[in-house]
Structure 1
Amino acid sequence: MKIKKAIAIIIMVFVSAVTFAQTKKLDKIIKRDYQIIEGTIAKISDKTVEYSLPGETVQISLDVSQIARIDFASGRSQTFDVSPENNAPVSNQIVVQEIKPNTIAVLPVPYLNSDNQQSSEDMAKFAQNDLYNKLLDKSSNIFPLTVQDLRTTNSLLHKAGIDHTNIDETPIQDLEKILGVDNIVAAKISYTMSESSTATTYNSGSAKVSDNNKKVKTNDISTTSANTQMYYHYNVYFDMYKNTTKIYSQTRKPFLNLKDSWIDSISYLLKRSPIYVKK
């Protein structure tokens, strides 16, 4: 009986340990490209954060310049600001503009391939221009806000050394001072790609009847064509700020996986933002 009790106790302890391991909360690292990493933080220094993934003991080092925030398992959060020495476009180079009340600026829209971390400058400008035109077209729906001219926005950002590659690393309060606006709309588009191939075969031919009308000879011609379809899997991030305070933040995945599907998501999120009033 004592042996059975001992075995039962060992089993209970083992099950409790497994249950505890499965329910243990993990730390969350939110990167500046919106990727979330779950693991256990081991060490934080001025330049790096070291962590391990669930079920692993190997420690991984991550540069703090890539981190926006850490949500610890304890419930505490730590935000990481970008230092001027590592990122030229801020702080000492800010030329403060006079804030124009009820003015909204559209920031460059990072357009990032999540597979290779490559960002497209052309698509970033195209997406920024698309969002800017949507706001202009709906000017009566966002009254009393006035949209800052896109050339003015990009010129001021360029003078401060800011573009689509580092816009996420610049604090909103600095951007408002640089642009002289009290409202900002900031969007980001990340995507992955996949492809699907289909093959179609076409058969054609002619039949010949022999002289004795018994044997049939057939000359068949078979043609196969291949078609490859590319699919785009988007995540569209949409934030709005007023006087440095985030007043709206949404993420949306387009219903369709087409190349331009992100445009529909931008329209959807804009129409549901707090600045938009239906007429």
Structure 2
Amino acid sequence: MKKVFTVLLMLFVFVFGFAQGGKKLDKIIKRDYTIIECTISKMSDQTVEYSLPGETMQIVLNVSQIARIDFASGRSQTFDVSAGRTAETVSSEGITVAEAKPNTIAVLPVPYVNSDTQQGSEDMAKFAQNDMYNKLLDKSANIFPLTVQDLRTTNSLLHKAGIDHTNIDETPIADLEKILGVDNIVAAKISYTMSTSSTASTYGSGSTTVSNNDKKVKSNDYSTTTANQQMYYYYNVYFDMYRNNTKIYSQTRKPFLNLKDSWIDSITYLLKRSPIYTKK
């Protein structure tokens, strides 16, 4: 009888555990692209309450941070983008001040400048900004409790203030924090010079015949010269982080290789060694 009871108990535990483990979860997709798998217990016009798997504590999240919820039932609810717009006021200095969002980090446009010509590239400035933004999103667990501000929000607020990659360096960090409504900022700049190296290779072929009077006669001679040109890029990557208007990290790095995309390796290296990054 005892053996039967033990078997039934083990079967119950197995079935109950399988049912719990196989339970579908709700998914909250935040505006910064963070996905939270959870069980939603309560919703209102202003907040959503949920608990994480294996926990009973209720967490409250403002709907202004939510882009969409995919419920376990299969239903989805998309939240109006206008609900996530940042409230703005104008300071006594004439600066448009966004609503403050504590523990939020903004990624600034990255000036990408040729040191010889002092010409900047708008496309590369946006590309580098997007590269840093995506790296921070991918490592969101490593920068907790910081949240990365949506790139569209950052660039929209900067555009309203008349700031872009050409004048971002001229704007004080204190003003940028007010404009963006954040307390953390990552700023970088990429300067570079270029040089070329040319090599030429000549390939030839031919045959030689000798006549009876020992007079040499050449025939079927030809040669081909091929020119190769290699472009080299010499980068300086400047990298700064600010918190509450205080510089908390500042580094300059030169990539090991002189390739066109070598600056990406330096950005990755500096991000991982910044004080906001913790290993998990």
Q: TM-score interval w.r.t. the shorter chain? A: 0.5 to 0.7
Where does 1:226-245 land on structure 2 (aligned, <5 Å)? 226-245=227-246
Q: After superposition, where does 1:200-279 map in structure 2 within 5 Å?
A: 200-208=201-209, 210=211, 215=216, 217-279=218-280
Q: Is the 8 A contact 1:239 1:250 kept in 2?
A: yes
After TM superposition, the structure 1 = structure 2 runs for residues 33-48 of structure 1, keeping only pairs within 5 Å, are none
Q: Give runs of aligned pairs for residues 65-214 of structure 1, distance below 5 A.
A: 92-208=93-209, 210=211
Structure 1 unpaired stretches of 5+: 1-89
Displacement after TM superposition at 1:111 (Å): 0.4
- 1:70-95, Cα deviation, whole Å (9 max, x unpaired): xxxxxxxxxxxxxxxxxxxx984421
For 2:218, what is the secondary structure of its paired residue? strand
> Contact between 2:208 and 2:216, CA under 8 Å: does it hold in 1?
no
Change (3 A) 1:169 1:228: same
Compute the displacement of 1:278 (Å): 1.1
What secondary structure is seen at the aligned counterpart in 2 of 1:258? coil
Measured in 2, the distance between the counterparts of 1:172 and 1:214 equals 84
Q: Secondary structure at the match of 2:96?
A: coil
Question: Aligned-pair distance for 1:219?
Answer: 3.0
Give the root-mean-square deviation of aligned CA atoms.
1.9
What is the letter of the counterpart of residue 107 of structure 1? L
Secondary structure in 2 aligned to 1:96? strand
The amino acid that maps onto 1:175 is L
For residues 248 and 93 of structure 2, what CA distance do their matches in structure 1 show? 28
Specify the structure having the higher radius of gyration (Cα).
2
Contact 1:141/1:277 (<8 A) preserved: yes
Following superposition, the deviation at residue 97 of structure 1 comes to: 1.2
Query: Structure 2 CA distance, aligned partners of 1:215 and 1:123?
Result: 62
Residues 1:126 and 1:260: Cα distance change in structure 2 (over 3 Å): same
Return the TM-score normalized by structure 2. Answer: 0.64
Quick one: structure 1 residues 160 and 206, their matched pair in 2 at CA, closer, same or farther if it must change by over 3 Å?
Answer: same
How far did 1:205 drift? Answer: 2.1
Give the aligned length.
190
Q: Give the CA deviation at 1:220.
A: 1.9
Over the matched positions of the two proteins, sequence identity in percent amounts to 85
Is the 8 Å Cα contact of residues 210 and 217 (structure 1) preserved in structure 2? no
Paired with 2:174 and 2:93, the residues of 1 have a C-alpha distance of 14
Partner of 1:143, secondary structure, is coil
TM-score of the superposed pair, with normalisation by structure 1: 0.65
- Counterpart AA for 1:113: N
Counterpart CA distance in 1 for 2:170 and 2:177 is 14
